[in-house]
Amino acid sequence: MTEEWRAILGKAIWAASGDNAQPWSVNILSEDRVVVHLATEKQNVYNLVPIPDWISLGMFIENMSLATAGLGKRIDTEMIDDYQIQVDLVPENDLVINPISKFIESRSVNRLSYKRDQIAAQTKHKLAALFDEDMELHWFDTDKKRFQIARAIMRSTDLRLRMEETYQIHKNMLDWENAQSHDGLPIESIGLSAFSAKSLKWLLANERRNNRVMKLPGATIFTQIELDLIPAMLCGAHFIASFKPDMRPHPQAVDYVRAGRAMQRFWLTLTQEHLCMQPWYIVFMFSLYVERGMFFTTQHDRAQKLYKHFTQQITAPENISVNHMFFTGRVGVPNKNPKGRSLRKPLDSFIIDDGL
């Protein structure tokens, strides 16, 4: 690998990905061409429709673009198919280095509660300008809306903890040993109290025990309060990012990759503004499955109720179509940084064929 590719890809891998799965690999074809692939074998019940992966791929590509500008070049991209994108390095004079590129490595999800300070109109304006013209941002910051969103996230947690389809995913993604985890989520980054973390460890150690306990009424209530209700009420605002249906009636992979690039600019700009973010993506994905008639869990009734709650109370009143959404989350001024954070696997582990 050339030093130039090492510098660019070393930044790219700091893109976010669902459960820190890091679903990319890179084929280096020449000094100025690579193909970035999405790993399709990483599919699970959280990405049955690959929108989260396309978003991550877009974040990866945006990091490449920001890093390349620092080397006096730009990138040209072309989707080969839904899972591969070709990236060419092109010399370019007079490039301005975007100051948000300074935050590529320090940007990190914050799952704790934030200050309730509203997001200033000026900041919202600056954030909206980071999106392409076929995209829009919707903000939710009244107490009533925060509570309705909190209830939706709580329903999604109740559903996913009770779903037998998620046991292995949760068991594999949590890192109990390392506060800085290269390929998982450190338990310290989740926002659980010591007691809840211990109970979760005990449950996940045995699948039959976990499934038995998760059938009990009220089994998930403490987790819902700690992980969902408190953080969802204690933040600056919630947001939904979506395509404008009149301009982009049927978004494709290439559009979601563009959306991922915009989301990376959004998240880096938040970091620059000393704000933080946590996605609440599962509400969106599970609602999308129900909207599209996909049967993804035996807990079908709970999934239907989540969908009804989300669409009737949150999306329909704002005229947002679930089929056009691409990101959901909350932002705010952090109270403190989490003790643990996810790191990344070594750069060389992403390179599948280093022809150089």
Residues 265-304 that bind ligand FMN (CB under 6 A): 278-282
Interaction of residue 114 with ligand FMN, rule CB under 6 A:
no
**Residue among 28 and 310 whose Cβ is closer to ligand FMN:** 310
Interaction of residue 342 with ligand FMN, rule CB under 6 A:
yes
**Residue among 113 and 278 whose Cβ is closer to ligand FMN:** 278
Contact assessment for residue 2 and residue 356, using Cβ atoms and an 8 Å cutoff: yes
Count CB-CB contacts under 10 A for residue 100. 21
Interaction of residue 259 with ligand FMN, rule CB under 6 A:
no
* Gap between the Cα atoms of 141 and 116, Å rounded: 9
User: Closest CB to ligand FMN belongs to which residue?
Assistant: 16
Interaction of residue 7 with ligand FMN, rule CB under 6 A:
no
**Residue among 29 and 222 whose Cβ is closer to ligand FMN:** 222
Binding mask 49-88 for ligand FMN (x = CB under 6 A): ---x--xx--------------------------------
* CB neighbour list of residue 12: distance below 8 Å, 6 or more residues apart: 24, 60, 61, 63, 64, 67
Interaction of residue 113 with ligand FMN, rule CB under 6 A:
no
Place of tokens 């392409």: 132
Q: C-beta of 256: minimal distance to ligand FMN in Å?
A: 10
* Gap between the Cα atoms of 213 and 298, Å rounded: 17
Q: C-beta of 30: minimal distance to ligand FMN in Å?
A: 29
**Residue among 114 and 281 whose Cβ is closer to ligand FMN:** 281
The tokens describing 194, both together, are 């010591």
**Residue among 5 and 326 whose Cβ is closer to ligand FMN:** 326
Burial class (CB in 10 A: 0-12, 13-18, 19+), 119: buried
Q: Say how many CA atoms lie within 13 Å of 277 toward its Cβ.
A: 26
